[in-house]
Structure 1
Amino acid sequence: MTGAGTRARRLARLMDEAGLDVLVATSAENVLYLTGISSVGGQNHPYASRALAVVTRERPDAPYFASSRGDVDQFLDATTALSGVVAYGAFHRVLPEGLELSAREERFKQIGVDAAPAPDALAALVRILTEAGAAGARIGVDENAAPPGFLERLAEALPGSAVRPAAAVLQQVRKVKSEAELHRIAKAAALAEDGIRAALGIAAQGVTEQDMVREFETTVARGGGRSRFTLIKFGRDGVLGQTRPSDRPLRRGESVWFDVGCTYQGYWSDIARTASFGEPSARLSAVYAAMLAGEQAALEAAKPGMTGGELFDRTVEAVRAAGVPHYRRHHVGHGIGAEIYEPVLITPGNADVIEDGTVVNSETPYYEFGLGGVHVEDPFVVTEDGNRLLTTLGRSLIVID
């Protein structure tokens, strides 16, 4: 686990290993990670309104921020000291003559009103790099959220610079979580757990999937979170878990499958539970016990230095040994943080290494026609001193009387 200083040193080290002088974040998630700013444009208009964060090797703890002029007020939300802010494009705010501004308003006015904006995001980035003395530097750009041709146009605008893709560098930096990040992930998980409890609290004959989804999402919002996906299915419909919630009423003897996620201050949760409305069938109980055995094996086995592929094998083998010998999966977990899927991915043969401070979102889903979805999923942080669950909701098969 890292603090701000440790994170900056890790960022500098990985930039050195990649041979980079500058790192440019283009995705809303990476901008959030580097600055603490949840870009409105980056989330709501990712193809048209782009926020950027830029760090240099010399000052990895003091990013630059660029945003459209309409969204640039968000620089006031930064959780770290910014080296500079550049706005681009057109946006108009009226300042009545003689109005006395607060210190916060005056600080914004200097950047969002007085300073001449760049024409577009690329020009804003060029201005930042020029002011930072990095015009001829080795520049890594998070290519995953960059528009087509962005890297090539940047290289043309800065002759003598070396521009190359660097999304993987940021992914590796983010693999190890700070205490602040762990708090946000745990809080997001707690909100999802509260939503599950609330949805289970209204379970009765006649209640629909739509009713339970509404109860879950209302509870998350009331707690300060944002629902991102709410998959709740009854009985055999769990095998069709990605479909819209139905208005079919819950019947006694059916299972209830939850796979739900929300965000808190930009950080994700992704948890799953299985319940039975009334006494569970022997088949449901047996399959669930095997899924839980797999997740427990992952919780106990994961350690720094283990690869995602090795943890995949341990998890799947545990499920098979516990009573589902035909169990197959393309993955049984993933890292989680500012994105729902982050390194390390728990996939077959994955050579990426779990580190001290990596959060593994372990899961063992099982889908069978006639039975439905059977699933348990939780985040836990891996440390040299042992692993710690970031959830508190019981992981046993839930029985609703």
Structure 2
Amino acid sequence: MAPNTDRLIRRMDALGADALVATTLENVRYLTGVSSVSLEIFPHTGECAAVVSRERPDRPYLVSSRCDLDQALDAEADLAGAVGFGTFHREAAGREGPDPRQVELGRLWRTGPVPATAAEALAGVLRGAGLDTARICLDTGALRPGALDTLADALPGARLRTDGADLLRWTRKVKTAPEERLLAAAAAVAEEGIRAVAAIAAPGVTERDLVREFERTVAGAGGRPRFTHIKVGAGAVLGQTRPTDTPLRRGDAVWFDVGCVLDGYWADIARVLTLGEPDARVRAYYDAMLAGTDRALAAAAPGMTGKELFDITVEAVREAGVPHYRRNHVGHGIGVEVYDRVLIGPDEEDVIEEGTVVNIETPYYEFGFGAVQVEDPFVVRSAGNELLTTLDRGLGVLA
């Protein structure tokens, strides 16, 4: 992980914040490199947190259940400390042997006392870090009911604010160079999945077969499939429904809108392939969608609003042959969330900055026709934007 700590400090200074508490899966991952098992598999009840001070944003504290305390060993940041709460049993601590990871977990295991709840553990970490009278921004996205009151009671001298999620989303809008590499690597895994699907596409192969091949390939490359929308022909207008046993036929278009995660960072890519020569309208409409993303890639610049880039993109599609084109948005930021800031929408005044990664997309859906779409991530730079994908962006025609 490589959080943008300089930008984080700048925002904390602007808000007058001394400390920040993250509680959601994405934000804990961003600050620590730990993908909390509890937050992922128990999204309504799981609890985990990361705490950073304005003085040392690079040395977070991790607060997790005792069950998940072993995940502290996977932290990519240099943890200032890790505290487990609740009840979980690992027997015979003190007999860890020569394994340094077991030794470290044993040390954490014996450190006491053990708080009963996440809120009590969080309050203890803040007190121990000297932040009990600090101005603290809280990301409340995964705080359990009553946790804020518990913190207020336990830290009467602290000034608690609930804008931590906004602070982190603002920080995450601009990527560091290591983050850009992680996003490019995630995109490469998704592209590998699309290439694998193209390799098996033949008459009689079904949507279900194509989805299975994409997900198998992504998993084999170390990624985690998160959504796999692959549809055949006119069925693409039903893009987010389950895959069917609809077989491929000569002339069919195959629509992809696929997403995966690699090392905590998202990929979200769209393409269309045809089995044999495409229908003339499929080619014309796909080329118009490509013209829109090409215009966006060339025109996006620091200081431009999401609305401005939206207008440029939609107008390019209309000029290229789909005059009735309309969309609710044509892209979004991407990072540890699939939709980071900014949204490329018709009313978005959020400003694109140097180092923002925009996932530009031009989907078109029509009943009786299907769908065409191009989608790729690129880094916005004042000296020229950088595409993070390598897959051919034209309409793919399979022999």
Report the Cα distance in structure 2 between the residues aligned to 1:18 and 1:45, rounded to whole angstroms.
Answer: 32
Equivalent runs, 1:214-229 vs 2, <5 Å: 214-229=212-227
Q: Does the aligned pair in 2 maintain the 1:361–1:380 contact within 8 Å? A: yes
Residue of structure 2 aligned with 1:260, choices 258, 261, 283: 258
Report the Cα distance in structure 2 between the residues aligned to 1:129 and 1:378, rounded to whole angstroms.
Answer: 41
Report the Cα distance in structure 2 between the residues aligned to 1:376 and 1:201, rounded to whole angstroms.
Answer: 20
In the other structure, the counterpart of 1:319 is 317
Report the Cα distance in structure 1 between the residues aligned to 2:80 and 2:89, rounded to whole angstroms.
Answer: 25
In the other structure, the counterpart of 1:295 is 293
Displacement of 1:279 after TM fit? 1.0
Tell me the amino acid that sits aligned with residue 17 of structure 1: A
Displacement of 1:39 after TM fit? 1.3
Equivalent runs, 1:382-393 vs 2, <5 Å: 382-393=380-391
Q: Does the aligned pair in 2 maintain the 1:73–1:112 contact within 8 Å? A: no
In the other structure, the counterpart of 2:344 is 346
Between 1:62-71 and 1:136-145, the stretch displaced more is 136-145
Equivalent runs, 1:12-51 vs 2, <5 Å: 12-51=9-48
Residues 160 and 116 of structure 1, relative CA distance in 2, 3 Å threshold:
closer
Residue of structure 2 aligned with 1:143, choices 140, 143, 167: 140
Residues 278 and 46 of structure 1, relative CA distance in 2, 3 Å threshold:
same
Report the Cα distance in structure 2 between the residues aligned to 1:270 and 1:100, rounded to whole angstroms.
Answer: 44
Displacement of 1:112 after TM fit? 2.2
Ranges in structure 1 where 5+ consecutive residues have no aligned partner: none
Residue of structure 1 aligned with 2:360, choices 359, 362, 371: 362
Report the Cα distance in structure 2 between the residues aligned to 1:152 and 1:362, rounded to whole angstroms.
Answer: 42
* Counterpart secondary structure, 1:144: coil
Q: Does the aligned pair in 1 maintain the 2:97–2:103 contact within 8 Å? A: no
In the other structure, the counterpart of 2:153 is 156
Report the Cα distance in structure 2 between the residues aligned to 1:214 and 1:278, rounded to whole angstroms.
Answer: 22
Tell me the amino acid that sits aligned with residue 66 of structure 1: V
Report the Cα distance in structure 1 between the residues aligned to 2:322 and 2:214, rounded to whole angstroms.
Answer: 31
Q: Is the aligned partner of 1:59 residue 2:56?
A: yes
- Offset from partner CA, 1:285-333 (integer Å, 9 cap, x none): 1111110000011101111111111111111111111111111111100
Residues 26 and 98 of structure 1, relative CA distance in 2, 3 Å threshold:
closer
Q: Is the aligned partner of 1:130 residue 2:127?
A: yes
Residues 38 and 98 of structure 1, relative CA distance in 2, 3 Å threshold:
closer
Report the Cα distance in structure 2 between the residues aligned to 1:152 and 1:91, rounded to whole angstroms.
Answer: 26
Displacement of 1:132 after TM fit? 1.3
Between 1:210-219 and 1:155-164, the stretch displaced more is 155-164
Report the Cα distance in structure 2 between the residues aligned to 1:24 and 1:98, rounded to whole angstroms.
Answer: 34
Displacement of 1:97 after TM fit? 7.5
Q: Does the aligned pair in 1 maintain the 2:12–2:54 contact within 8 Å? A: yes
Displacement of 1:147 after TM fit? 2.7
In the other structure, the counterpart of 2:247 is 249
TM-score normalised according to structure 2 size: 0.96
Q: Is the aligned partner of 1:90 residue 2:87?
A: yes
In the other structure, the counterpart of 1:74 is 71
Q: Does the aligned pair in 1 maintain the 2:296–2:360 contact within 8 Å? A: yes
Q: Does the aligned pair in 2 maintain the 1:310–1:349 contact within 8 Å? A: no
Residues 321 and 149 of structure 1, relative CA distance in 2, 3 Å threshold:
farther
Displacement of 1:98 after TM fit? 5.8
Displacement of 1:102 after TM fit? 2.7
Residues 143 and 56 of structure 1, relative CA distance in 2, 3 Å threshold:
same
Report the Cα distance in structure 2 between the residues aligned to 1:296 and 1:213, rounded to whole angstroms.
Answer: 28
Q: Does the aligned pair in 2 maintain the 1:141–1:151 contact within 8 Å? A: no
- Offset from partner CA, 1:7-39 (integer Å, 9 cap, x none): 222111101112211111001111111011111
Residues 99 and 218 of structure 1, relative CA distance in 2, 3 Å threshold:
closer
Report the Cα distance in structure 1 between the residues aligned to 2:329 and 2:355, rounded to whole angstroms.
Answer: 21
TM-score normalised according to structure 1 size: 0.96
Tell me the amino acid that sits aligned with residue 264 of structure 1: L
Tell me the amino acid that sits aligned with residue 201 of structure 2: A
Between 1:276-285 and 1:239-248, the stretch displaced more is 276-285
* Counterpart secondary structure, 1:116: coil
- Offset from partner CA, 1:326-383 (integer Å, 9 cap, x none): 1111110000010100001111121111111110000000001111010010000111
Task: State the aligned residue count.
Answer: 398
Report the Cα distance in structure 2 between the residues aligned to 1:314 and 1:116, rounded to whole angstroms.
Answer: 59
Residues 99 and 236 of structure 1, relative CA distance in 2, 3 Å threshold:
closer
Q: Is the aligned partner of 1:232 residue 2:230?
A: yes
Equivalent runs, 1:171-186 vs 2, <5 Å: 171-186=169-184
Residue of structure 1 aligned with 2:374, choices 373, 376, 385: 376
Report the Cα distance in structure 2 between the residues aligned to 1:148 and 1:237, rounded to whole angstroms.
Answer: 43
Report the Cα distance in structure 2 between the residues aligned to 1:360 and 1:318, rounded to whole angstroms.
Answer: 17
Q: Does the aligned pair in 1 maintain the 2:19–2:53 contact within 8 Å? A: yes
